[in-house]
Protein backbone atom coordinates (compact mmCIF):
# COMPACT_ATOMS: atom_id res chain seq x y z
CA UNK A 1 0.00 0.00 0.00
CA UNK A 2 1.11 3.58 -0.51
CA UNK A 3 2.18 6.01 2.21
CA UNK A 4 -1.21 7.67 2.75
CA UNK A 5 -3.08 4.38 2.84
CA UNK A 6 -0.63 3.00 5.39
CA UNK A 7 -0.87 6.09 7.58
CA UNK A 8 -4.64 5.84 7.53
CA UNK A 9 -4.77 2.08 8.13
CA UNK A 10 -2.42 2.20 11.12
CA UNK A 11 -3.60 5.46 12.66
CA UNK A 12 -6.00 4.03 15.21
CA UNK A 13 -3.48 1.46 16.41
CA UNK A 14 -0.71 4.03 16.73
CA UNK A 15 -3.04 6.27 18.69
CA UNK A 16 -4.36 3.47 20.86
CA UNK A 17 -1.56 0.99 21.54
CA UNK A 18 0.72 3.03 23.78
CA UNK A 19 -2.19 4.84 25.38
CA UNK A 20 -3.12 1.59 27.11
CA UNK A 21 -0.11 1.70 29.42
CA UNK A 22 -0.84 5.33 30.23
CA UNK A 23 -4.48 4.60 31.08
CA UNK A 24 -3.82 1.34 32.95
CA UNK A 25 -4.92 1.53 36.58
CA UNK A 26 -1.60 -0.02 37.55
CA UNK A 27 0.14 3.07 36.20
CA UNK A 28 -1.85 5.32 38.52
CA UNK A 29 -1.35 2.97 41.46
CA UNK A 30 2.40 3.07 40.90
CA UNK A 31 2.28 6.84 40.56
CA UNK A 32 0.53 7.01 43.92
CA UNK A 33 3.29 4.87 45.44
CA UNK A 34 5.81 7.41 44.16
CA UNK A 35 3.88 10.26 45.78
CA UNK A 36 1.87 11.55 42.81
CA UNK A 37 -1.87 12.13 42.92
CA UNK A 38 -4.53 11.88 40.25
CA UNK A 39 -3.22 12.60 36.75
CA UNK A 40 0.04 14.09 37.98
CA UNK A 41 2.22 11.06 37.15
CA UNK A 42 0.79 10.95 33.62
CA UNK A 43 1.49 14.66 33.15
CA UNK A 44 4.99 14.40 34.59
CA UNK A 45 5.84 11.26 32.64
CA UNK A 46 4.78 12.67 29.29
CA UNK A 47 5.68 16.31 29.80
CA UNK A 48 8.96 15.60 31.54
CA UNK A 49 10.70 15.14 28.19
CA UNK A 50 10.46 18.95 27.91
CA UNK A 51 12.64 19.43 30.98
CA UNK A 52 11.86 22.12 33.53
CA UNK A 53 9.57 24.08 31.25
CA UNK A 54 6.89 26.37 32.71
CA UNK A 55 3.52 24.74 33.26
CA UNK A 56 1.88 26.89 30.61
CA UNK A 57 4.37 25.63 28.03
CA UNK A 58 3.74 22.01 28.94
CA UNK A 59 -0.01 22.62 28.80
CA UNK A 60 0.39 23.95 25.27
CA UNK A 61 1.74 20.57 24.14
CA UNK A 62 -1.13 18.63 25.75
CA UNK A 63 -3.39 20.05 23.08
CA UNK A 64 -6.71 18.44 23.98
CA UNK A 65 -6.55 19.00 27.75
CA UNK A 66 -7.85 22.06 29.57
CA UNK A 67 -4.65 24.10 30.04
CA UNK A 68 -5.15 24.97 33.69
CA UNK A 69 -5.60 21.31 34.61
CA UNK A 70 -2.27 20.39 33.04
CA UNK A 71 -0.39 23.41 34.41
CA UNK A 72 -1.59 22.69 37.96
CA UNK A 73 -0.71 18.99 37.70
CA UNK A 74 2.73 19.90 36.35
CA UNK A 75 3.47 22.17 39.27
CA UNK A 76 2.36 19.56 41.82
CA UNK A 77 4.39 16.86 40.09
CA UNK A 78 7.55 18.94 40.25
CA UNK A 79 7.40 18.84 44.03
CA UNK A 80 7.42 15.03 44.01
CA UNK A 81 10.59 14.38 41.99
CA UNK A 82 12.81 15.92 39.29
CA UNK A 83 11.38 15.93 35.77
CA UNK A 84 13.98 13.53 34.36
CA UNK A 85 13.31 11.03 37.13
CA UNK A 86 9.57 11.15 36.45
CA UNK A 87 10.23 10.32 32.81
CA UNK A 88 12.48 7.41 33.80
CA UNK A 89 9.74 6.05 36.05
CA UNK A 90 7.17 6.47 33.27
CA UNK A 91 9.37 4.60 30.80
CA UNK A 92 9.75 1.87 33.40
CA UNK A 93 5.98 1.53 33.64
CA UNK A 94 5.77 1.22 29.85
CA UNK A 95 8.44 -1.49 29.92
CA UNK A 96 6.68 -3.54 32.58
CA UNK A 97 3.31 -3.10 30.90
CA UNK A 98 4.69 -4.19 27.52
CA UNK A 99 6.22 -7.33 28.95
CA UNK A 100 2.98 -8.20 30.72
CA UNK A 101 0.60 -7.48 27.84
CA UNK A 102 2.29 -8.27 24.52
CA UNK A 103 2.10 -12.01 23.77
CA UNK A 104 5.37 -13.93 23.56
CA UNK A 105 4.43 -15.21 20.11
CA UNK A 106 3.92 -11.69 18.75
CA UNK A 107 6.87 -10.40 16.70
CA UNK A 108 7.59 -7.38 18.89
CA UNK A 109 11.12 -7.08 17.54
CA UNK A 110 9.91 -6.67 13.97
CA UNK A 111 7.29 -4.07 14.89
CA UNK A 112 9.92 -2.23 16.93
CA UNK A 113 12.25 -2.21 13.92
CA UNK A 114 9.63 -0.85 11.52
CA UNK A 115 8.35 1.70 14.04
CA UNK A 116 11.92 2.87 14.56
CA UNK A 117 12.35 3.46 10.85
CA UNK A 118 9.19 5.57 10.80
CA UNK A 119 10.20 7.56 13.86
CA UNK A 120 13.68 8.21 12.49
CA UNK A 121 12.24 9.44 9.19
CA UNK A 122 9.67 11.78 10.73
CA UNK A 123 10.13 15.54 11.10
CA UNK A 124 10.05 17.00 14.60
CA UNK A 125 8.47 20.24 13.37
CA UNK A 126 5.52 21.24 15.60
CA UNK A 127 5.70 18.02 17.66
CA UNK A 128 7.87 18.72 20.76
CA UNK A 129 6.63 15.75 22.80
CA UNK A 130 7.62 13.44 19.94
CA UNK A 131 11.02 15.10 19.69
CA UNK A 132 11.55 14.75 23.43
CA UNK A 133 10.44 11.12 23.60
CA UNK A 134 12.51 10.14 20.55
CA UNK A 135 15.59 11.63 22.20
CA UNK A 136 15.27 9.42 25.30
CA UNK A 137 17.52 6.39 25.76
CA UNK A 138 15.67 3.38 24.36
CA UNK A 139 15.11 0.01 26.00
CA UNK A 140 17.59 -2.64 24.94
CA UNK A 141 17.00 -4.69 21.81
CA UNK A 142 17.24 -7.65 24.17
CA UNK A 143 13.83 -6.52 25.50
CA UNK A 144 11.87 -6.33 22.24
CA UNK A 145 8.45 -5.88 23.87
CA UNK A 146 9.64 -2.81 25.76
CA UNK A 147 11.41 -1.44 22.69
CA UNK A 148 8.27 -2.00 20.63
CA UNK A 149 6.02 -0.02 22.98
CA UNK A 150 8.66 2.67 23.45
CA UNK A 151 8.88 3.29 19.70
CA UNK A 152 5.13 3.00 19.17
CA UNK A 153 4.68 5.64 21.84
CA UNK A 154 7.05 7.89 19.93
CA UNK A 155 4.77 7.49 16.92
CA UNK A 156 1.77 8.18 19.14
CA UNK A 157 3.31 11.47 20.24
CA UNK A 158 4.10 12.26 16.61
CA UNK A 159 0.58 11.57 15.44
CA UNK A 160 -0.99 13.27 18.43
CA UNK A 161 0.99 16.45 17.92
CA UNK A 162 0.22 16.52 14.21
CA UNK A 163 -3.46 15.94 14.90
CA UNK A 164 -3.52 18.76 17.43
CA UNK A 165 -2.04 21.13 14.87
CA UNK A 166 -4.57 19.95 12.29
CA UNK A 167 -7.44 20.56 14.72
CA UNK A 168 -6.28 24.13 15.31
CA UNK A 169 -5.78 24.69 11.57
CA UNK A 170 -9.32 23.48 10.91
CA UNK A 171 -10.66 26.17 13.21
CA UNK A 172 -11.82 23.74 15.88
CA UNK A 173 -11.10 24.42 19.55
CA UNK A 174 -9.61 21.69 21.71
CA UNK A 175 -12.78 21.68 23.80
CA UNK A 176 -14.92 21.24 20.68
CA UNK A 177 -12.64 18.49 19.37
CA UNK A 178 -13.02 16.44 22.54
CA UNK A 179 -16.78 17.04 22.54
CA UNK A 180 -16.92 15.81 18.96
CA UNK A 181 -14.69 12.75 19.16
CA UNK A 182 -14.73 11.56 22.78
CA UNK A 183 -17.46 13.37 24.72
CA UNK A 184 -17.20 10.81 27.53
CA UNK A 185 -13.69 12.17 28.22
CA UNK A 186 -14.72 15.81 28.67
CA UNK A 187 -14.66 15.71 32.47
CA UNK A 188 -11.36 13.82 32.61
CA UNK A 189 -9.79 16.33 30.25
CA UNK A 190 -10.92 19.18 32.49
CA UNK A 191 -13.53 20.78 30.23
CA UNK A 192 -16.53 22.33 31.97
CA UNK A 193 -20.07 22.87 30.73
CA UNK A 194 -21.46 24.30 28.59
CA UNK A 195 -19.88 22.02 25.99
CA UNK A 196 -19.76 22.88 22.27
CA UNK A 197 -22.47 21.48 20.00
CA UNK A 198 -21.20 18.26 18.43
CA UNK A 199 -22.95 18.99 15.15
CA UNK A 200 -20.85 22.10 14.61
CA UNK A 201 -17.63 20.11 14.95
CA UNK A 202 -18.26 17.26 12.53
CA UNK A 203 -17.01 18.85 9.33
CA UNK A 204 -13.86 20.53 10.71
CA UNK A 205 -12.99 17.38 12.68
CA UNK A 206 -13.21 15.26 9.52
CA UNK A 207 -11.06 17.83 7.73
CA UNK A 208 -8.47 17.68 10.52
CA UNK A 209 -8.46 13.89 10.42
CA UNK A 210 -7.66 13.89 6.70
CA UNK A 211 -4.94 16.49 7.26
CA UNK A 212 -3.43 14.33 10.00
CA UNK A 213 -3.10 11.34 7.68
CA UNK A 214 -1.58 13.50 4.94
CA UNK A 215 0.97 14.92 7.36
CA UNK A 216 1.86 11.46 8.71
CA UNK A 217 2.26 9.93 5.26
CA UNK A 218 5.77 11.23 4.39
CA UNK A 219 7.38 9.24 7.22
CA UNK A 220 6.00 6.05 5.66
CA UNK A 221 8.19 6.75 2.66
CA UNK A 222 11.02 5.25 4.72
CA UNK A 223 9.39 1.84 4.24
CA UNK A 224 8.89 -0.21 1.11
CA UNK A 225 5.40 -1.14 -0.03
CA UNK A 226 5.80 -4.57 1.53
CA UNK A 227 7.13 -3.10 4.77
CA UNK A 228 4.20 -0.69 4.98
CA UNK A 229 1.81 -3.62 4.63
CA UNK A 230 3.75 -5.44 7.33
CA UNK A 231 3.76 -2.48 9.69
CA UNK A 232 0.01 -1.99 9.37
CA UNK A 233 -0.61 -5.69 10.00
CA UNK A 234 1.69 -5.81 13.03
CA UNK A 235 0.47 -2.55 14.55
CA UNK A 236 -3.15 -3.62 14.25
CA UNK A 237 -2.34 -7.08 15.59
CA UNK A 238 -0.56 -5.60 18.61
CA UNK A 239 -3.53 -3.36 19.33
CA UNK A 240 -5.88 -6.33 19.08
CA UNK A 241 -3.66 -8.45 21.33
CA UNK A 242 -3.56 -6.00 24.21
CA UNK A 243 -7.27 -5.19 24.01
CA UNK A 244 -8.43 -8.77 23.54
CA UNK A 245 -10.22 -7.78 20.34
| Each residue's pLDDT expressed in tens, for the chain with a length of 245 residues | 999 999 999 999 999 999 999 999 999 999 999 999 999 999 999 999 999 999 999 999 999 999 999 999 999 999 999 999 999 999 999 999 999 999 999 999 999 999 999 999 999 999 999 999 999 999 999 999 999 999 999 999 999 999 999 999 999 999 999 999 999 999 999 999 999 998 888 999 999 999 999 999 999 999 999 999 999 999 999 999 999 86
205's enclosing H/E stretch is helix 198-216
pLDDT, position 183 = 95
CA 50/CA 194 separation, integer angstroms: 32
CA 77/CA 37 separation, integer angstroms: 8
DSSP state string for 3-51: HHHHHHHHHHHHHHHTHHHHH-HHHHHHHHHHT--TTHHHHHHHHGGG-
What pTM was computed for the model? 0.97
pLDDT, position 201 = 87
Q: What is the dihedral of CA 76, 77, 83, 84, to 10 degrees?
A: 170
pLDDT, position 189 = 97
pLDDT, position 245 = 65
CA 241/CA 8 separation, integer angstroms: 20
Amino acid sequence: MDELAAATASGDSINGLASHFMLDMGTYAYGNELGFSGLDFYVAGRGGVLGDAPGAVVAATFVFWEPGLIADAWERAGAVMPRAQAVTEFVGVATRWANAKLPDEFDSARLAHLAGQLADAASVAAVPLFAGWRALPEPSADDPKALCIHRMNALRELRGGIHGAAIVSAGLSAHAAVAQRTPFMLDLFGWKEPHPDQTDGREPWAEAQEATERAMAPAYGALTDAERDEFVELANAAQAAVTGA
